[in-house]
Structure 1
């Protein structure tokens, strides 16, 4: 049924009802096909600029899929009250990306969409069911004896394996004869210490009668036992040491040392006065303690960035930088989109602007960073952002679609003490860069997990 350009569909009632809000064009056509392929039931399809809030509410959708583009920003603000209803699940997609998504990339996005519509976690491509079945059969093929042992383990003692082994060895008979004790008359005679000494002397007696060798040196001369009197050896000190006392008036008294304070302090004061102090050097150490959080994203990144910003607390004490490359440079619209997802202030970065803790900055193209005595600030000259960020107090997240070419720089940043994490799992349409971070044993997970780990890291 069609009414004034408003498309209302009625198909299988078992599928989840979906409202598609997109302007007419290739993006809406692709999204319509994706919803049908994912098993969704479109109950409303309309341009947000021409849609009435009452019509959206009357269609009773459970999921609303919005194709984002600058032309629908004002309409989304008008429909914000209805879109924020608790029973609705909102899905956002860049209209430009949806229009040009084809082939394998389109099929992967459809699998993720189907997982969200149908409430499961299976985003594997077709053909993986056989591998899953083989793994299930392998688990079910466990020997029955092992299953019985596992079932009896809770009620059996902890050493039941040892008892079973002992029972199995109780009837074992060796081929060789068992050890028999030796008879008393066959045991050797045990000698005491004196008998051993006598027997040793008897055995070594013939060896002592052998003639002495001529090479044996003569005996040493007798020692001089003359006793030297102490008086003759050492001169006796004056006085009797028994009469010495630390309390006597004529004892040793240290001479007082007079210190000329002005003379001693003069070189020190002169060196301090001649030394050149720099407030920039002092503030540089404080600036090193103020880092930043950098979010790198690409294809599928807007949704991941929203989820990360939504999880940041209101008292977050670090500036957050978002580098998300957009065709056409519509970063002002991206600022509006991200401002709806977070309680933190969101602004577009300007050259020369200092970074303020707790603010979110959208980085346009050709934007750099510089570290000075006043801290971090934006630069009009594009450079390596990571080289300006103090690693000890900074963090980097590589979200969906992040540039793979930046992985070596990010890993080097981590080796210097920076906190690094990558997005993997459901909702990550391009995990190539994040997968390399996970292989390097960096923190990996969905955006909600990463932002929770980031909060713990920044709190420490």
Structure 2
């Protein structure tokens, strides 16, 4: 068992504060300081408690008070974890247990994020590690394959999908030798394929001056668990990064202006709210509400009302990053961009609060890394 981490809780009195206090205790943390940020005159008292991590329950009043605490919250040696007070106040049951795991993973740096589903949990302790079955001997009759979704706990809530890493499908390392009629059919098929004359398709059209020549951007998708991952990513992006970053973060309350304030504290790049008609500038971070998209113009990318954010990106000079809580419906369009040159990246599922989209993206060829390490892959694509 790792040594307890010293944690400070910043939250206004109420249900959210009480539930986060309980979550910290269940996660094994030592609560060394608790206060309403709006009542703290400066960061001195908080710093005197010497916390190793700070958990902040965000609401509009707390948001306005955090500037006075930048001396502590901006300290790179202190882990700062943000949670929406409104969400914390109504988190119950399985979702509350999942949050405790997520919190413990943040505090202690492990990937054990998701609790076992209620119907599949063992009688006591954690689930045992899954071991793949022995390879099927050559010529033996194959048993029916395990269901493709054996690692999911069925639920009506898409945000509560339980991806059990222990139930992941094994990697096939050896294929049994084919025999009998199957072997003959396979050999015949191989001969027919070898005899085919592959027609060379027409060459791609020359790149014309227009949308395809417009410089692209890094599009970051997030949802539940995403704000924290986005903070980690932005904190690692250098001030000379040569492309804009477009942040598409699903929020229940829709307070994207507050998200701008939160991200500005973590980012070396300027952060602003996207507006209709504004031209996207390099070296900027834009928080993009869901009703906006982009289109390529002679001046570059421009924000438009009702457009498609992903479809408007020039694929050959763009990157798509899927973090915790991203919409799985965006995976297929992202892969189409990848076929035209886009860089496709996903957050490692072990650190995700909701890994559905990143896991699917990675399974289909996207590169995976922690949010801060994803920046290194972006820098390889666009050296400063």
* Matches for 1:235-254 after TM superposition, within 5 Å: none
**1:406 equivalent in structure 2:** 330
Within 5 Å, give how 1:37-436 maps onto structure 2.
37-52=26-41, 53-85=43-75, 87-123=77-113, 125=115, 127=122, 129=126, 131-132=128-129, 283-284=209-210, 288-380=213-305, 382-436=306-360
2:375 is equivalent to residue 451 of structure 1? yes
DSSP-derived class of the 1:340 partner: helix
Judging changes above 3 Å, is the alpha-carbon distance between structure 1 residues 427 and 102 closer, same or farther for their aligned structure 2 residues? farther
- Write the deviation string for residues 398-433 of structure 1: whole angstroms up to 9, x where unpaired: 111011122221122212221111112443100101
User: Whose radius of gyration is greater, 1 or 2?
Assistant: 1
Aligned residue pairs: how many?
300
2:377 paired with 1:437: no
Cα distance, 1:130 vs structure 2? 5.6
SS of alignment partner, residue 109 of structure 1? helix
Q: Does 1:33 align with 2:22?
A: yes
Question: Contact between 1:65 and 1:92, CA under 8 Å: does it hold in 2?
Answer: yes
Q: What TM-score results when the alignment is normalised by the length of structure 1? A: 0.61
- For residue 111 of structure 1, give the secondary structure of its aligned residue in structure 2: helix
The reply to whether residue 18 of structure 1 matches residue 4 of structure 2 is: no
- Output the CA distance in 2 between the equivalents of 1:430 and 1:290: 31
How far did 1:121 drift? 4.3
Give me the whole-angstrom Cα distance separating, in 2, the residues matched to 1:130 and 1:120.
Answer: 16
- What is the SS of the residue equivalent to 1:131? coil
- In structure 1, C-alpha distance between the alignment counterparts of 2:288 and 2:24, rounded to whole Å: 33
Structure 2, unaligned stretches of length 5 or more? 117-121, 135-206
- Measure how far apart 1:378 and its partner are: 0.6
Verify the 8 A CA contact 2:105 2:113 in the aligned structure 1: yes
Q: Is the 8 A contact 2:16 2:86 kept in 1?
A: yes
Larger CA deviation: 54-63 vs 415-424: 54-63
Structure with greater proportional helix content? 1
Aligned residue for 1:387, secondary structure, equals coil
The ranges of structure 1 where at least 4 consecutive aligned residues each deviate by more than 6 angstroms after the TM superposition are none
Q: TM-score, normalised on structure 2? A: 0.72
Q: 1:58 to 1:369 in 2, by over 3 A?
A: same
Q: Distance in 1 between matches of 2:112 and 2:23?
A: 17
Contact 1:329–1:365 (CA under 8 A) maintained in structure 2: no
Q: Measure, in 2, the Cα distance between the counterparts of 1:323 and 1:124.
A: 24
Is the CA contact (8 Å cut-off) linking 2:327 and 2:357 kept in structure 1?
yes
Structure 2 counterpart SS, 1:332: helix
